Homo-oligomer: A and B are copies of this chain.
Amino acid sequence: MSAKVRLCVTHPLAEGQAVALTKEQAHYLFGVMRLGSGDRVALFNGQHGEWQAEVVEAGKRGGVLDCREQSAPQAMPPDLWLIFAPIKKARTDFIVEKATEMGARRILPVQTDFTNAERIRQDRLQAHAVEAAEQCGGTFVPEVADLQRLDRLLADWPEGRRLMFCDEALVGEARGLPDAPGPWAILIGPEGGFSPSERDRLRALPLAHPVALGPRILRADTAAVAALTLWQTKLGDWT
């Protein structure tokens, strides 16, 4: 029987590999989930797929799992970034969780001209991504980047990466997504909108594609899921 509890670890995973647990992992498995010796846990590390492991030592501050057999191959999400401007803590958490479930490979929080760049806790957001990956059955955890300025990111835009951006003010210029594989990024417009100079920079990017998300105004977390759905169905791993 497949394990119901999934855990993201940093160890290499292979048959017979012993995996030592951190104090937090031991607390979660044995304290919260009430597992004990002989119980099964599914492990993944973002590289070696999903493995069924058995609890061989269960302690209050640690424990050891033993890898038995691979239960799923490593599945990498498409080379897709999600870029968004964090505003409120709860919504930011949601966006990281949803981007992970929806299959983004990198999550990039940005400061824009019209967002008061609340500081972010990169480590806390990364932990949210880990938890979402454990929940959603994926074998990959997207990297959450540190907060950076949108204008810098656009000034150094990587050659060949297409950008789908969602901006109410540019709805008239919106086109459908082109059938263009390769690296992509999705940029969710900040709640205060883009500044004129940001819009100019976006328009000047050769590989930018404005996309409309319906006739109503969506909150950033709703827009992120909607945009990821459009992209994944047309170009990603949902097809």
Query: Which A positions have Cβ atoms within 8 angstroms of B?
Result: 75, 94, 97-98, 101-103, 135-138, 212-219, 222, 225-226, 228-230, 232-233, 236-238
Contacts and interface: CB of A to CB of B under 8 A. Distances in A.
Chain copies in complex = 2
Return the 10 tightest CB-CB contacts between A and B, nearest first. Answer: A225-B225, A214-B238, A229-B229, A136-B216, A226-B229, A137-B217, A136-B217, A138-B216, A101-B222, A101-B218
Given A222-B225, A225-B225, A226-B225, A102 B214 contact: yes
Contacts of A228: 226
A91 to B, nearest CB: 10
Contacts of A217: 101, 135-137
- Most chain B beta-carbon contacts within 10 A, residue among A103, A216, A226, A228: A216
A233 B232 contact: no
A230 B230 CA distance: 8
A175 to B, nearest CB: 13
Nearest to A216: B136
A221 to B, nearest CB: 8
Given A101-B219, A219-B135, A225-B225, A214 B230 contact: no
Contacts of A213: 238
A100 to B, nearest CB: 8
B135 A103 contact: no
B135 A214 contact: no
A102 B135 contact: no
Nearest to A213: B238
- Most chain B beta-carbon contacts within 10 A, residue among A101, A212, A222: A222
A232 B214 contact: yes
B238 A215 contact: yes
Contacts of A216: 101-103, 136-138
28 contacts: A75-B215, A94-B94, A97-B219, A101-B216, A101-B217, A101-B219, A101-B222, A102-B214, A102-B226, A103-B214, A136-B216, A136-B217, A137-B216, A137-B217, A212-B238, A213-B238, A214-B232, A214-B236, A214-B238, A215-B237, A222-B225, A225-B225, A225-B226, A225-B229, A226-B229, A229-B229, A229-B230, A230-B233
